[in-house]
Amino acid sequence: MNTRTLLIILFTALIALAGCRGTVPVHDISDTTVRNVDGDQPSAEQMERAIRTAGVALGWRMEETEPGLIEGRLNLREHVAVVEIPYAAGQYSIRYKDSSNLNYADGQIHPNYNNWVQNLDDQIRAQISAL
């Protein structure tokens, strides 16, 4: 085998390995307590509006499945992430519910999922601080 063929095989293997990302533990946002800019707890209605607005701004489809519980669904290319967001006056959580094409198994998932949830959490906080 000549050097050029060996380099092509090595380069191809490196590219293939670089595309294979491992999994990380699912990160849930649990029992977050928030206050608006005046230091007051937002009402449940304000929480719902902030969560919906934050999700939609980031491309999530937000749907209230029952009072005090919003389901968020993010579709990116062939990837789907679904979270449950229970909320009440001044508090909320973001919990993993389901996914596809994110390599979920035994509490582990593709690292992009945690980034999307963190972005959603940051955006919810930004919406609440603007109240």
Q: 6 Cβ partners below 8 Å, 6+ apart? A: none
Angstrom distance (rounded) from CA 39 to CA 77 = 40
Extents of the domains making up the chain: 23-129
Which one, of 81, 87, 80, 76, lies nearest residue 29 by Cα? 87
pLDDT tens over the chain, length 131 residues: 677 665 566 555 545 444 456 899 999 999 999 998 888 999 999 999 999 999 999 999 999 999 999 999 999 999 999 999 999 999 999 999 999 999 999 999 999 999 999 999 999 999 998 88
Q: What is the torsional sign of CA 45, 48, 52, 53?
A: positive
CATH number of 23-129: 3.30.310.80
Q: Which helix (H) or strand (E) holds 95?
A: strand 91-100
